[in-house]
Structure 1
Amino acid sequence: MQTTPPPQQALPSKRDVYWTSADGLNLYAADYGPKDAALTVLCMHGLTRNHKDFEPMIAGLNLPVRFIAVDVRGRGKSDRAASTEGYLPPVYVQDMAALTKKLNLENLVLAGTSMGGLMSMIMAKVMPEKIRGIILNDVGPVVEPAGLQRIASYAGGNETFRSWVEAAAAIGRTQASVYPDYGADDWMAFAKRTCREADDGSIVFDYDPAIVQGMGATKPDWKTNFAMWRLFGVMKGIPLLIIRGETSDILSDKTAQRMHRRHKGSSLLTISGRGHTPALDEPTSLAGIRAFITGLMD
């Protein structure tokens, strides 16, 4: 199955959005496409990523909908939290609630990658009346410990690089198993989305290193797993697209199949040649997401 993305199309018009969290942080989101569209796709990234993660998907979909891609606190253009207590999914969801209120957003499709998918599950519980559909990208009620430990092994955030070429090469080494078909140009584009240039000219990761503290140190017990499956059950009345990387070490095939069986209004899409997480610009991903969103517009 083809995984290489098609030629990049132009992004729709982009606007900057800033809003303030309950604890006074200045937060950022990028707003693409028509403000008066029937649907708004709220894009929420993974642990160490930012809003730019979704730009290839947005360009590739080329749909007449509004896309809002956020920089979750501590990432990208959003302020960093005062302490690690500010870096928890329930806090992130409070920030999303403040954003939806500021922009008066209704008729939402939530597109959540990894951590963003966990945020989507919580949002389905606290604001179901606003949500028309959910896309979960490589995450579910059970998060595999091996995957968490792998991510924790390289996601310290303190590493610096002397050039963009060095940054791209380093990222390619840690992510090679996730995107085995990527070449030098792909890794450079990846680096440009996930890193920034510091004041001294060095290249650094574009997130607060504090977001990963303690990651991988604990394993969920049965009580946590039970609670997460109950949370997943809250989504049963909301159309759901489950996307899984074929070799994902975060979302197992067993868990994905169980999610699909439990949620009668779900579809399950497996992306070949991808681990955790699919980039969502693969032809198979784009076709599945396009069909899902178009179906919600009918």
Structure 2
Amino acid sequence: MSSPRLDFVTCASPTGTHRMAYWEWGDPDNDKVLLCVHGLTRTGRDFDTLARRMAGEYRVICPDVVGRGASDWLVNPAFYTVPQYVADMITLLARLQPATLHWVGTSMGGLIGMALGGSAILSERMRSAGVGRPQGGPVLPQGGWHIGKMVINDVGPHLVPQAIARIGEYVGSPVELADFDAAVAYVREVSGSFGPHSDAQWRELAEHVFVERNGRWGKHYDVKIAVPFAVRDEAVMAAGEQFLWQAFEALDCPVLVLRGEQSDLLKADTVADMCRRNARARAIEIPGVGHAPTLMDDSQIAPVAHFLLED
């Protein structure tokens, strides 16, 4: 199939409900699900090339995380955080009811995957021991799905503060451009770390992240997703990193960590630490790319497909 189906699921936040959009590829009755979750300012359509490749094996689901793409925006932007995103994915999984669940997460999508998969395991262990949920972790349901394989694309429990600051500089800035060509040029400039792409690929990367409103082209997302970036409490950040390390170490499935060779967000020593702390993790470095590999080129898709489909 050349185009995905669009559907919505209603999720809840402390300030009310919102709809999360998701793009679906492949047989809707296939209970083998590949859930692909995008980065901070991107959409589920980032995975179109990968989804076309994998739709024969999976029901491929690519959500627009709340505040992005075709999804609603939150009333209170303070909840544009990983715990809320994890809660939304749990609601989506309750809709999908996968028998087999594999995960591909780019940047923010990788953090969501780590938090979701690791928290589920930690929570189950704590329930078995008769104690509460892990410190800082989301509330998770009992039973149900289990992530069988996970691809984490250019992110880890430890994030370089300077890279976070760089991203925060442009995330919250509204942009209005005269036409789509200007939007493509903007994406090429701010996303140069994606590495070399053809003109057609740059247009595809811009197509779903800029929308036309009243004859002008602007960002698809709620610029208030940047609000949590303003909170630079070192104690909170340290607690968040500690929780992510605990969640990552708890993952009991095969994990493939992708790192852009020139990434400023995920350092090589962090990847080495990830592989040391979780024996089921392995890593691949993508040459000539920074943050983050787009999984549009066959040289990047092939190792991901091999990892997901190997016995």
Q: Same fold (TM over 0.5)?
A: yes
Q: What is the TM-score of this pair, normalised by structure 1?
A: 0.88
Summarize deviations over 1:233-287 as a string: whole Å, max 9, x none.
111x111010111111111011011111222112211111111110012323211
- Residue 38 of structure 1, CA deviation: 5.2
Q: Distance in 1 between matches of 2:37 and 2:194?
A: 21
Partner of 1:163: 179
Q: Which residue of 1 aligns with 2:246?
A: 230
Structure 1 contact 156–209 (Cα < 8 Å) conserved: yes
Of residues 195, 206, 224 in structure 2, which corresponds to 1:191?
206
2:68 paired residue number: 75
Distance of 1:70 and 1:157 partners within structure 2: 24
Superposed CA offset, 1:162-214 (max 9, x none): 001111112212222x134234333222110311111x021111100000124
Distance, in Å, in 2 between the alignment partners of 1:140 and 1:251 is 6
Contact 1:196-1:203 within 8 A present in 2 as well: yes
Any conservation in 1 of the 2:69–2:208 contact (CA below 8 Å)?
no
Deviation sequence 1:78-104 (CA, Å, 0-9, x none) = 110001122111111111111111222
Query: Comparing 13-22 with 47-56, which one deviates more in the overlay?
Result: 13-22
Q: CA RMSD in A?
A: 1.9
Partner of 1:244 in structure 2? Answer: 259
1:142 aligns to 2:152 (yes or no): no
Maintained 8 Å contact 1:157/1:205: no
SS state at 2:279 partner? coil
| Residue of structure 2 equivalent to 1:4 | none
Residues 272 and 60 (structure 1), Cα distance of their counterparts in 2 relative to 1, 3 Å cut: farther
In the aligned structure 1, how far is the partner of 2:64 from the partner of 2:166? 23
- Cα distance in 2, alignment partners of residues 56 and 219 from structure 1: 38
Which of the residues 14, 23, 28 maps onto 2:21?
A: 28
State the shift of 1:216 in Å.
Answer: 6.6
Is 1:145–1:219's contact at 8 Å kept on the other side of the alignment?
A: no
Distance 1:277 1:112, change over 3 A: same
Q: Give the paired residue count.
A: 283
The alignment's TM-score, normalised by the length of structure 2, stands at 0.85
Distance 1:223 1:74 in 2: 25
Cα separation, 1, equivalents of 2:68 and 2:195: 26
Q: 202-211 vs 124-133, which deviates more?
A: 124-133
Inter-partner Cα distance in structure 1 for 2:156 and 2:233: 15
Q: Is the 8 A contact 1:29 1:71 kept in 2?
A: yes
Task: Pick one of 215, 218, 222 that aligns with 1:204.
Answer: 218
Report SS of the residue matched to 2:75.
coil
Deviations 1:92-124 (A, max 9, x none): 111111111122233111111111111101111
Contact 1:241/1:268, CA 8 A, preserved across alignment: yes
Matched residue type, 1:174: V
Q: How does 1:40-51 map to 2 (within 5 A)?
A: 40-51=33-44
Gaps of 5+ in 1: 1-9
CA drift of 1:131 comes to 1.1
| Higher RCO, Cα 8 Å, sep 6+ | 1
Whole-Å separation in 2 of the counterparts to 1:61 and 1:108 = 13
Give the CA deviation at 1:228: 2.5
Moved more, 55-64 or 99-108: 55-64
Counterpart position of 2:5: 15
Percent sequence identity over matched residues?
A: 30
Task: Check if 1:57 corresponds to 2:50.
Answer: yes
In 2, Cα distance between the equivalents of 1:250 and 1:219?
19
SS of corresponding position for 2:270: helix
Cα distance in 2 for residues equivalent to 1:276 and 1:205: 20
